[in-house]
Structure 1
Amino acid sequence: MSGRSPTAVRLFWTFVAGSTVAFWYGPPALAATGAASLAILLHRLDRPRRFRAFVRRVSQRHAETLALRRRQECFVDAYGNTIEDGWLREREYFIERTLLPQIETRGFAEDAETRYEVMAEIVERVARRYALPDDDGSPEDGIAYERFCARLLQESGWRARPTQASGDQGCDVIAERDGLRLVVQCKRYGRPVGNAAVQEIAAAALHWSADRAAVVSNAGFTPAARKLAGTTGVLLLHHDDLPDLATQLPREGRRLLPVGGR
């Protein structure tokens, strides 16, 4: 029976067992066999609904995070176009790293192979429907945005101050808390931030003897920026992340990786 679907295997053995029992018990056993076969078929026909329901349950457990990431990774560019590239990458990451392992454990692996669009649609719907608090209305002016980010850090317990516009060496905000010094570059953009900002803040961390460095933006980051941030240890943040930043930083091994080193 190798190579056949689980449903076909169940129907085969139900028929074999039913036929054997019917030899002794006659029509009642045949009726029971028919009922069992019908139940197996109905269970198979209901499989797409159960698959969708399972994907929805898993997604809803992460609804708040999905909704927040969708808001963070979608933005309107200078031409009025809504750019969703970052969110589409985030949605794919969630499906591959969170949904698929649980789907395979639950026995829906064969369904996932042909229903990727169904999963993406469910994740999208869950993210859109979750009611986040109103957007903070972050300022569009670059200098005002730097002060806005500093204020968010101050309100969450950091001693934060914007640097001078000149001579900042790529650092817009310096923040300290619990013996940790953080340097931040703030980018209020209409497009994803590239790796130049990561390079600048990594160098600024060395200049200011900082423990950690971060780039904060309203508009997400390019794949190249994310790759370089992974190498240098620079944090890539949306300004929504700042209020909870202190609780997310590890207490040990917090030093930034040296530029160009490991």
Structure 2
Amino acid sequence: MSGRSPTAQRLFWTLVLGGCASIRYGAVALAATASVCVAILVHRLDRPRRFRSLVRRIARRHAPTLALRRRQERFLDAYGNMIEDGWLRERDYFVERTVLPLIEERGYSDYAEPRFEEMVEIVERVAHAQVLPDERETPEDGIAYERYCADLLEEAGWDARPTGASGDQGCDVIAEKAGLRLIVQCKRYGRPVGNAAVQEVAAAALHWSGDMAAVVSNAGFTPAARKLAGTTGVLLLHHDDLLDLVPERRTGRRRAPATGR
């Protein structure tokens, strides 16, 4: 019996027990056994629908975040092509880390691999259907984009100022809040930002005695940039994230002596 599916096992034992009962109770037991077998089969046939419904419920609980990440990680490049690489990675990550553990917990572990793409499609539809506030129009010019990011930080309660175009040592905006200093490099790009920006802002944080360092972009980040950011403590942010940014001293970040500048 160990090689049979749960449904086959339920049917087998229902027939065995029902057959035994029918010896004593006759037609009534046979009718009851048939009804139970039909119910088991209907429940089995309805399993794919219940699986899809479960995945939708999981995705809808995170719909605002998914929709925001979808907007942040999709952008037009300089040639007018929609670049979705970042969103596709984010979508798969959500399915792997959030959806799969829950469906396995609910008894759908056999669906994890063969129905992975179906789960991804459900997440895509949920994210696409979620209504978000209109996106602010971001400046095209790099210097104006730095000012725009500083203004967003000001809205979030930071004391922020752009450093200017020259002599910034990889720092475009300096912001302070709750006694902590944030060093920001702003990238208004038509492609994902690479790890060079992470290296630059990490060095700038040391130069400017920063407690936090971040690269802010409209266009997402490469896997290499994300990997390096994870080891250096640099935040990788979409400009939308600045309105919710809170002061937090990053692990490993040390304030340099004031005389070192």
- What's the TM-score, normalizing by structure 1? 0.95
Q: Could you tell me which residue of structure 2 aligns to residue 158 of structure 1?
A: 158
Q: Distance in 2 between matches of 1:81 and 1:45?
A: 43
Say if 2:153 is the partner of 1:142: no
Q: Could you tell me which residue of structure 1 aligns to residue 47 of structure 2?
A: 47
Q: Could you tell me which residue of structure 2 aligns to residue 87 of structure 1?
A: 87
Q: Distance in 2 between matches of 1:238 and 1:78?
A: 18
Q: Could you tell me which residue of structure 2 aligns to residue 240 of structure 1?
A: 240
Q: Is the 8 A contact 2:76 2:190 kept in 1?
A: yes
Give, in angstroms, the shift of residue 256 of structure 1: 2.4
Q: Is the 8 A contact 2:212 2:250 kept in 1?
A: no
User: Aligned AA for 1:128?
Assistant: H
The 5 Å alignment of 1:167-206 reads 167-206=167-206
Aligned Cα root-mean-square deviation (Å): 1.2
Q: Distance in 2 between matches of 1:45 and 1:104?
A: 19
Q: Could you tell me which residue of structure 2 aligns to residue 256 of structure 1?
A: 253
Which runs of no fewer than 5 residues in structure 2 stay unpaired? 256-261
Q: Could you tell me which residue of structure 1 aligns to residue 37 of structure 2?
A: 37
- CA offset digits 1:172-221 (Å, max 9, x no partner): 00000000100000000000000000000000000000001000000000
Q: Distance in 1 between matches of 2:158 and 2:27?
A: 79
Q: Distance in 1 between matches of 2:250 and 2:214?
A: 16
User: Aligned AA for 2:237?
Assistant: L
- CA offset digits 1:157-181 (Å, max 9, x no partner): 0000000211000000000000010
Q: Is the 8 A contact 2:211 2:250 kept in 1?
A: no
Give, in angstroms, the shift of residue 117 of structure 1: 1.2
Q: Distance in 2 between matches of 1:187 and 1:107?
A: 45
Q: Could you tell me which residue of structure 1 aligns to residue 65 of structure 2?
A: 65
- What's the TM-score, normalizing by structure 2? 0.96
Q: Distance in 2 between matches of 1:242 and 1:99?
A: 28
Aligned length: 255
Q: Could you tell me which residue of structure 2 aligns to residue 212 of structure 1?
A: 212
Percent identity between the aligned chains?
Answer: 73
Q: Is the 8 A contact 1:188 1:218 kept in 2?
A: yes
User: Aligned AA for 2:18?
Assistant: G
Q: Is the 8 A contact 1:212 1:254 kept in 2?
A: no
SS in 2 for 1:92: helix
User: Aligned AA for 1:29?
Assistant: A
Q: Is the 8 A contact 1:67 1:127 kept in 2?
A: yes
Q: Distance in 2 between matches of 1:159 and 1:196?
A: 27
Q: Could you tell me which residue of structure 2 aligns to residue 18 of structure 1?
A: 18
User: Aligned AA for 1:186?
Assistant: C
Q: Is the 8 A contact 2:18 2:29 kept in 1?
A: yes
SS in 1 for 2:138: coil
Give, in angstroms, the shift of residue 112 of structure 1: 2.1
Segments of 4+ in structure 1 off by > 2 A?
252-258
Q: Distance in 2 between matches of 1:253 and 1:232?
A: 9
- CA offset digits 1:18-49 (Å, max 9, x no partner): 00100100011001000000000000000000
Q: Could you tell me which residue of structure 1 aligns to residue 259 of structure 2?
A: none
Q: Is the 8 A contact 2:233 2:250 kept in 1?
A: no
SS in 2 for 1:137: coil
SS in 2 for 1:175: strand
Q: Is the 8 A contact 1:162 1:174 kept in 2?
A: yes
Give, in angstroms, the shift of residue 105 of structure 1: 0.5
Q: Is the 8 A contact 2:211 2:254 kept in 1?
A: no
Which runs of no fewer than 5 residues in structure 1 stay unpaired? none
